[in-house]
Amino acid sequence: MLSGFKNIPKIPELQKRIFMTFLLLGVYRIGTHVPTPGIDNKALAAFFDMAKGSLLGLFDMFAGGALSNLSVFALGIMPYISASIILQLLTIAIPHLERLSKEGEVGRRKITQYTRYGTVFLSLIQGFGIAVGLENMAGPTGASIVLEPGWSFRFMTVITLTAGTSFIMWLGEQITERGIGNGISLIIFAGIVCRGPAGLLGTFRLVSTGEMGIIFVAFLFLFMVAVVGFIVFVESGQRRIPVQYAKRIVGRKMYGGQTTHLPLKVNTAGVIPPIFASSIIMFPATIANFVPHPWMQAVSNYLRPGAFIYESTYVAFIVFFCFFYTAVVFNPIDVADNMKKYGGFVPGIRPGKKTAEYIDHVLSRLTFGGAVYVSLVCVLPSILMVYMNVPFYFGGTALLIVVGVALDTAGQIETHLLARQYEGFLKKGRLARRR
């Protein structure tokens, strides 16, 4: 692995992409510390100290701490993710969007443009809800969080937060295009990782004051290592379907006659399901947190991490998006048709429709196992942390996103290395077999 890192400077393009990724992520982190005007930061910080372990704490984690100080990036990237979910669901229901999704690069650009419009629309709604909610909130001492309430504050806050989310969306697209890895995922990754040092300091403070024992901290550390190892093990797991290609003669050359395999990942959807599920739950829950109405406060309490309704809803959304996103990115019918076109077949299965049904059957069972795995990683550690009164940033959702995005980014770096005949992060023996 060390030799793989040493080879990175030998590729100017890869070096430039990594530098651009760090530069844009640095711009994002600077923006999370630029406050929105008209806010009493001390009263807001005191309010979020009371909200630790709640859904606001989870939202603040995804926003990289931007919500707790109400920076210009307070809404984070969640409106963009929500808009992406809505567009993908509408693609199935609206024929025009379905045709666009099949028109290649031109269609994808059009859908991306619709997603941007949806992001701005959702940001306007969420920004207005936050502005109105902030006017009715106060810190523990009774100090008002908003210095001068009114329509001028609401208008300024909505415009500021919407512009911040639009800028984050642009940063994510630039990272994807000019950097390395998926830009949106890396922005969430950076927000979670940057809160790690503060979490460690908070844990050390609890140990120094005697609120948490050293043995328990050691157990917590081993538990996190075990969860990370389990995530890496499952994320690298594959179900390999054997594929045989028949011999065929084209001109004077003979093609085919070789045996290969079709790799199907256990978790095809990656970290998308927990991110999408969190985004869906956060939208109504965030509005409920900022509206001082008894009924809305009851909704907020039901959607608190660790509560039965929240966890069951979270699991249901994770399972749904595991199957939904897998169906979007992997079409067994197209795979079977391409295999049949080039003379490939699965031993014992007839080419065409039967092959598609077989692949779909195997993929469905794998996706179910992947959905159970993602649900366990996201829910069980979070429940344990809430009932053990451990800071929320050690939850399973954060670990899954961090490890998943890191593996995906490392895989893309390795692809650049292998494309130029450099040794990647894997061992030489395994690398030779892959070639």
Residue 66 pLDDT level (bands cut at 50, 70, 90): low
Residue 435 pLDDT level (bands cut at 50, 70, 90): very low
Tokens of 272: 């998308």
**pLDDT at residue 56 in the model:** 60
H-type helices in 94-150, by residue range?
A: 95-101, 105-135
Phi, psi of 136 (to 5 degrees): -100, 5
> CA torsion sign, 72 to 75 to 76 to 79?
negative
Q: How far apart are CA 396 and CA 85, in angstroms?
A: 22
CATH tag, 1-194+427-435 = 1.10.3370.10
Whether residue 129 is predicted with pLDDT greater than 60 in this model: the reply is yes
| Cβ(235)–Cβ(272) below 8 Å | no
Q: Among 57-61, 100-104, 181-185, 404-408, whose mean pLDDT is lowest?
A: 57-61
Residue 430 pLDDT level (bands cut at 50, 70, 90): very low
**pLDDT at residue 253 in the model:** 66
Domain ranges for the chain, please list them.
Answer: 1-194+427-435, 236-394
- Which candidate, 314, 328, 300, places its Cα nearest to that of 377? 314
Mean pLDDT of the chain: 78
Whether residue 167 is predicted with pLDDT greater than 90 in this model: the reply is yes
| Cβ(44)–Cβ(68) below 8 Å | yes
- Which candidate, 278, 199, 266, 226, places its Cα nearest to that of 403? 226
Task: Give the residue, 378 or 420, on which the prediction is more confident.
Answer: 378
Task: Give the residue, 117 or 42, on which the prediction is more confident.
Answer: 117
Whether residue 324 is predicted with pLDDT greater than 50 in this model: the reply is yes
Q: How far apart are CA 246 and CA 259, in angstroms?
A: 9
Task: Give the residue, 151 or 53, on which the prediction is more confident.
Answer: 151
Q: Do domains 1-194+427-435 and 236-394 have the same CATH topology?
A: yes
Packing angle of the helix pair 78-93, 105-135 (nearest 10 deg): 130
- What is the pTM assigned to this prediction? 0.76
**pLDDT at residue 405 in the model:** 86
Q: Does domain 236-394 have CATH number 1.10.3370.10?
A: yes
| Cβ(29)–Cβ(73) below 8 Å | no
Identity of the highest mean pLDDT range in 185-189, 361-365, 390-394: 361-365
DSSP, collapsed to helix, strand or coil, labels residue 279 as helix
**pLDDT at residue 420 in the model:** 67
Q: Among 299-303, 323-327, 415-419, whose mean pLDDT is lowest?
A: 299-303
